[in-house]
Structure 1
Amino acid sequence: MSVAHHIGLITEDNLQADMLRHYLMEQLAQDIVLVRQTEELSMLCSVIPQLLLIDLDYLKGLHGSRWRDAIMAQSAGARVVLLNAPHDVGHEMLVDWPNLSGLFFRRDPLQQLVSGIRRVLLGEMWLPRQLMSELLCYYRDSQPQGRRQVVGLTLREQEILRYLMTGASNGEIANSLFVSEHTIKSHLYNVFKKIHVKNRLQAMQWAKEHLDARGWH
């Protein structure tokens, strides 16, 4: 039985968008709500976790900053997946989305979109390697030196962070530690709160700055 997620698709209201919504619902076995106005975000705000699929082509003509402000105000905890990204997209645009979990280009095939969203629903990330590298560098350079210390992390949480640094998925970490994937998700939720980060990329950068190889098996 699949786990129910509350997913919003932010795009224009037309036949193509409705066909995409129904295709994704069928492939993901999830209900997806079409969101066309910022006021409609309130329908998704009462339930967490949330996932927002955002059509960048739609936002381009509708003052994207207004949508970002609305999402941060009404759905600050929602993970974000950007659709129809231009191939020359840089990290400068992506840092405007703190909870970015995935990105797909305009010409990406539908099956790749489905596969990526499935990984995001499992708590992982789906970003091109180059963009991920650029974002990690950005977060590293923007952090004041010595701002955070390894305070309050258990040995198991530090171990999970080290696995995260390698790019391992939740499932791969769970297999390595002989625990359930749900246990890994719970640990990561607690870790994110303790080190004050919002997503896996920021946690990876934090770990690279604050954890060394001591105690690594």
Structure 2
Amino acid sequence: MDSIASTSRRIILFGQQNLQNSILIGFIHQRTNIDCQLISTAEWHPEWNTFEGQTLALIDADCARTERLQDLLEQIFDQNTDIQVAFFNTQSTSPVERLIAWPMVNGIFYKETSQQQLVKGIAGIFEGEFWLSRSLITQYLGRTRSKPRKVTQNANLLTRREKQILSLTATGATNTEIAGHLNVSMHTVKTHIYNLFKKIDVSNRIQAVNWAKDNLEDIVLESVV
């Protein structure tokens, strides 16, 4: 696999300081030419937010209890920057549906995933792809999809800005791209997304976009380009 661009990308690997993870970050750097830092505590450091490029938080699913991992996801979500998240060393019995419900979790890699497959998935996530198994997507959609609700006066449910952000979300734009397009802060974008998710009773972007298709016939898809 060819090396990909490195200067505007970085990986922060949350996991134990052991030989396995030390070898892993060396392998990732060798194959991708992306700087990879190993952190042994499941805690986000605010000083990392000064980095202006793409960040992938690669989290060892074995590094902490589920509750602590949820706390880390909460910290990452609250940052005023665009951070992608992926989990590795995930067991088949892990509560992955709770993880992929977070809007920034784009990858799940299981214990049997090879290093080569992990590197391929990391490259895909940096390019905007979701790296989730077909069976996981099938199970998740099977449990979360339901008959669309017909709500009256849906056009008045969201504010103009919330509709604008929802239309940009439907194009696949990241929070960073939305903030730049609207000339607002990342915190403002996340606040609007949180509020509109709460109003329409959804938990992720896919559900929000599906809601818009069912309930907002007049929504105009904007472009960040």
TM-score computed with the length of structure 2 as normaliser = 0.63
**1:9–1:43 distance in 2 versus 1, CA, 3 Å:** farther
Structure-2 residue corresponding to 1:11: 15
**1:90–1:65 distance in 2 versus 1, CA, 3 Å:** closer
Q: Name the aligned partner's letter for residue 89 of structure 2.
A: N
Deviations 1:12-41 (A, max 9, x none): 111111110010011111101101024563
Aligned counterpart in structure 1 of residue 119 of structure 2, from 82, 102, 114 = 114
Once the two structures are TM-superposed, the CA of residue 139 in structure 1 deviates from its matched residue by 6.1
Separation (CA, whole Å) in 1 of partners of 2:103 and 2:170: 19
- RMSD over aligned CA atoms reads 4.2
* Structure 2 residue 133 is matched with structure 1 residue 131: no
**1:107–1:209 distance in 2 versus 1, CA, 3 Å:** same
Query: Which segments of structure 1 move beyond 6 Å, counting only runs of 4 or more?
Result: 213-216
Aligned counterpart in structure 2 of residue 23 of structure 1, from 19, 24, 27 = 27
Q: Name the aligned partner's letter for residue 204 of structure 2.
A: Q
Once the two structures are TM-superposed, the CA of residue 131 in structure 1 deviates from its matched residue by 2.4
Separation (CA, whole Å) in 2 of partners of 1:67 and 1:126: 19
Residue 24 of structure 2 contacts residue 115 of structure 2 at CA under 8 Å; is this kept in 1?
A: no
Structure-2 residue corresponding to 1:72: 74
* Structure 2 residue 111 is matched with structure 1 residue 102: no
**1:73–1:186 distance in 2 versus 1, CA, 3 Å:** closer
> Percent same amino acid among aligned pairs?
22
Separation (CA, whole Å) in 2 of partners of 1:85 and 1:10: 13
Structure-2 residue corresponding to 1:58: 63
**1:51–1:104 distance in 2 versus 1, CA, 3 Å:** same
Aligned counterpart in structure 1 of residue 50 of structure 2, from 46, 51, 73 = 46
Separation (CA, whole Å) in 2 of partners of 1:150 and 1:115: 40
Residue 101 of structure 2 contacts residue 204 of structure 2 at CA under 8 Å; is this kept in 1?
A: no
- The count of residues paired between Structure 1 and Structure 2 equals 189
Separation (CA, whole Å) in 1 of partners of 2:72 and 2:95: 23
Q: Name the aligned partner's letter for residue 32 of structure 1.
A: C
* Unaligned residue ranges in structure 1 (runs of 5+): 165-169, 171-181
**1:135–1:44 distance in 2 versus 1, CA, 3 Å:** farther
